Chain A
Amino acid sequence: MRIVILPKENLAEFIGHLRSFGELHAPTKRGEKSLVFAPVSDLSEIELNYTRTILPLKKYFFKATDVMFNFCAEKGYELPVEEADKKYVIFGVHPCEIHGLKILDLVFGGKYVDTYYFARRSKVAIIGLDCIPDDLCFCRSTGTDFVDTGFDLFLSDIGDSYLVRVGTSLGDDMVRAADSLFRQVKKEDREAYKRNSVQRRDSFQAEIQLQDLPGIMDLEYESHVWEEVGEKCLSCGICSMVCPTCYCYSVFDELSLDGNTGQRKRIWDSCLFKDYALVAGGHNFRAQRSSRVKNRYFHKQRGFVSQYGRPSCVGCGRCKAYCPAGIDIVEVISKLRSEIRV
């Protein structure tokens, strides 16, 4: 892997260069405290020291609501027209977020490839940026605190400069296009990078024990912890919306008044919604809120492991940060592990 150094005083200029590779998006402020990925025009709009945005990057590839096709009684159906050649550069993407995308790649790239997702994925360059965990981050436990792949460039803060790992040929083009802004790695850069890496590793406060968790979950299927969480849960669906790896959607048709045309659409869905497991005939497989909460945890930490060999949780902390009822995944898992039951 090619590694170069970008002195911080050159970052603004480099960001200017990036704009020639596509529309630039980066974490930027919304409201007083919140952050979102949104279009930016220069470095002054970018929040470099952030922990998490409200929505993860899935919003770019798997949109909250999406038109799948238009239909017409005479003409059949046709795919919606997208700006075919428009490219995007997303700057400031944290490792957990990149892992989230890699998980979605697995899911949407399975037996039935989701072409909507991958058509957008191929138009977006990812510029990663490392971060300092806050008290809600547990990506170290989920093994998603660091990335080796899944980015075009990845910037790590080493004091006065960024150590830049080049992940793809597109990333290499980006560096070459602004060649004079970069320099070679020196001894002190190597040392700073390794020192920071240890420091970052030691700064995690939250932890989840993932080893043997699928087994523990099977054993604790009847645990009263699920009842407790079910009583608190508002079924508001926020945790699913903000989760980097929640990918459920519901499909429906929207008709026009002319009775002749319409659109097939999809919209983000959540297993916490009452109707999620409702089937024709009126039976609901998960009519109780507690069973829906349990299902969400089981799918992330148990079912996904069986299917893909790893949990789908990336430890970003959003589900806790944005839960109005204050449900804390770290607490739920640790209760499940320590619970004593007759």
Chain B
Amino acid sequence: MGKPKVGVYGLTGCAGDQLVILNCEEELLDIAGALDIKSFPMAMSGGDENCPLDIVFVDGTVVQPKDEEMLKNLRERAKLLIAIGTCAVWGGVAAMSNETPREELKNKVYGPAGQVFDTVVPQPLSSFVKVDLAISGCPIEKEQLLQAVASLLHGDLPRLPNYSVCTECKMSEYPCLLVEKGQLCLGPITVAGCKARCPSYGRPCIGCRGPVEEANVSSEVRLLREKGFTWVDIQNRLRTFAAPADCFEDKILKEGANA
């Protein structure tokens, strides 16, 4: 079997997840040796933009009509489509104000310059195409990426954590910022994988990896309300990185707020 043909592409976003791939300095030669990288516009010119691909890694969010077009084209080209980064998986910061009308938002941010381009309501990749594997994180964790590549080379999907940041926080025995300091920490509802990096520096989790499966958001909201945080503070924090997620729907948030 030949090396898998791979493409790495970015939609609207900071391209930080593609940068994580380039930052795998020690492993870069191994990666390049194991994969046949056909196109990686951020890293190389002269890529093949039409060939069929075994795997395509996509970061960023669908924010412009051309993102949707590009994404659908990549889906057609690739056997496996892998969303990398919280933007691609959950919508990311681009989607934090989706309830505000697009025109109003565009005008506020860009003024008259906003007239020259189109935007759509930002959505994660899975709203448009089938996503075969989602690696979240802002940016993604290098170790998870390497494990994913290694597993895919073995014809398997990687094992990603399906528990919260709290689990990793306690495994490393960091003092609890919710219990001890009463901080607005989203550890209990945010998916693990970062080894609780922010709590390790005494900073609360801001949910940049997106929600854990079956996150108990109403219990989290209730306990933050009991600690005296305002509804606005809580809502802003919850909706920073993954506002389109089902668990952050208005109805669920309000349930927690009124409990």
**Chain B residues bordering chain A, tally (CB within 8 A):** 42
Q: Assess whether A322 is in contact with B179, with CB atoms less than 8 Å apart.
A: yes
Interface string of A59-76 (1 = CB under 8 A from B): 100001100000000000
B198 contacts the other chain (Cβ, under 8 Å)? no
Residues of B within 8 A of A (CB): 27, 30-31, 33-34, 146-147, 149-151, 153-154, 159, 162-164, 166-167, 170-176, 178-181, 187-189, 202, 212-214, 216, 218-220, 222-223
Contact partner, B30, options A59, A257, A321, Cβ 8 Å: A257
User: Contact check: which of B170, B189, B202, B213 meets A322 at CB < 8 Å?
Assistant: B170
- Does the CB pair A242–B171 fall under 8 Å? no
Contacts of B213 in A (CB 8 A): 274
A36 an interface residue at 8 Å Cβ cutoff? yes
Contacts of A64 in B (CB 8 A): 171-172
Contact A236-B167, Cβ < 8 Å, known A257-B34, A324-B178: yes
Determine how close the nearest CB of chain B comes to the CB of A56; give it in whole angstroms: 10
Instruction: Establish whether residues A232 and B219, one from each chain, have CB atoms under 8 Å apart when the complex forms.
Output: yes
Which residue of A is nearest B226, CB measured? Answer: A326
Further contacts, 14 of them, CB under 8 A, given A234-B216, A257-B30: A32-B181, A54-B170, A54-B174, A231-B218, A234-B189, A235-B216, A236-B164, A252-B159, A257-B146, A259-B153, A273-B162, A275-B162, A324-B179, A324-B188
A235 lies within 8 A of B214 (CB): yes
**Closest residue of chain A to B180, judged by CB?**
A33
Which of B173, B174, B189, B218 lies at the interface centre, i.e. has the most chain A CB atoms within 10 A of its CB?
Answer: B173
Residues of B within 8 A of A234 (CB): 164, 166, 188-189, 216, 219-220
Residues of B within 8 A of A30 (CB): 173-175
Report A-chain residues with C-beta under 8 Å of the C-beta of B172.
64
User: 1/0 contact trace for A308-329 toward B, CB 8 Å?
Assistant: 0000000000000111111000
| CA A36 to CA B218, docked complex, whole Å | 31
From A278, which residue of chain B is reached at the shortest CB distance?
B162
What residue of chain B has the Cβ atom nearest to residue A241's Cβ?
A: B170
Tell me which residues across on chain B come within 8 A of A7, comparing CB atoms. Answer: none
**Closest residue on chain B to residue A254 by CB atoms:** B147
CA distance A262 to B147 in the complex (A): 11
Some 29 contacts from A to B, beta carbons below 8 A apart, are: A31-B174, A31-B202, A34-B175, A34-B176, A54-B170, A54-B173, A59-B173, A231-B216, A234-B188, A235-B164, A237-B167, A241-B171, A242-B170, A257-B33, A257-B149, A257-B150, A258-B30, A258-B34, A259-B34, A259-B150, A262-B150, A273-B162, A274-B214, A321-B179, A322-B170, A322-B179, A324-B178, A324-B187, A324-B188
CB contacts (< 8 Å) of B175 on chain A: these are 30-34, 54
Task: Find B150's partner among A256, A274, A321 (CB 8 Å cutoff).
Answer: A256
Question: Assuming the A-B contacts A256-B150, A259-B153, are A241 and B216 also in contact, with contact meaning beta carbons closer than 8 angstroms in the complex?
Answer: no
Interface footprint category on A: 35 or more
Inter-chain residue pair count (beta carbon < 8 A): 118
Chain A contacts with B in 275-321, Cβ cutoff 8 A: 275, 289, 321
In the complex, residue of chain A having the shortest beta-carbon distance to the beta carbon of B34? A257
B156, chain A: closest CB distance, angstroms: 8
- The prevalent SS among residues of A at the interface is loop
**Any chain B CB within 8 A of the CB of A55?**
yes
A77 interfacial by beta-carbon distance below 8 Å: no
| A contact residues around B163 at 8 Å (CB) | 235-237, 270, 273
Residue pair A259, B223 in contact (C-beta under 8 Å): no
Interface string of A225-266 (1 = CB under 8 A from B): 000000111111110011000000000101111110010000
CB distance from B37 to the nearest CB of A (A): 14
**How far does the alpha carbon of A234 sit from the alpha carbon of B30 in the complex, in Å?**
40
A268 at the interface (CB under 8 A from B): yes
Using Cβ atoms and an 8 Å threshold, which residues of chain B touch A232?
Answer: 219, 222
Residues of A with C-beta under 8 A to B181? 32
- How far is the CB of B6 from the nearest CB of chain A, in Å? 13
Residues of A within 8 A of B147 (CB): 254-255
- Chain B residue contacts of A31, Cβ below 8 A: 174-175, 180, 202
Complex Cα distance, B153 from A259, in Å, reads 7
Expressed in whole angstroms, the Cα–Cα distance for A80 and B104 within the complex equals: 60
Residues of A within 8 A of B153 (CB): 255, 257, 259
State whether A233 touches B216 (Cβ < 8 A): yes
Query: How far does the alpha carbon of A189 sit from the alpha carbon of B110 in the complex, in Å?
Result: 80
Instruction: Give the CA-CA distance A91 to B257 in the complex, in Å.
Output: 46
Chain A min CB distance to B32 (Å): 10
Highest count of chain A CB atoms <10 Å: which of B187, B212, B219: B219
Q: Which residues of B are found within 8 Å of A257, using beta-carbon distances?
A: 27, 30-31, 33-34, 146, 149-150, 153
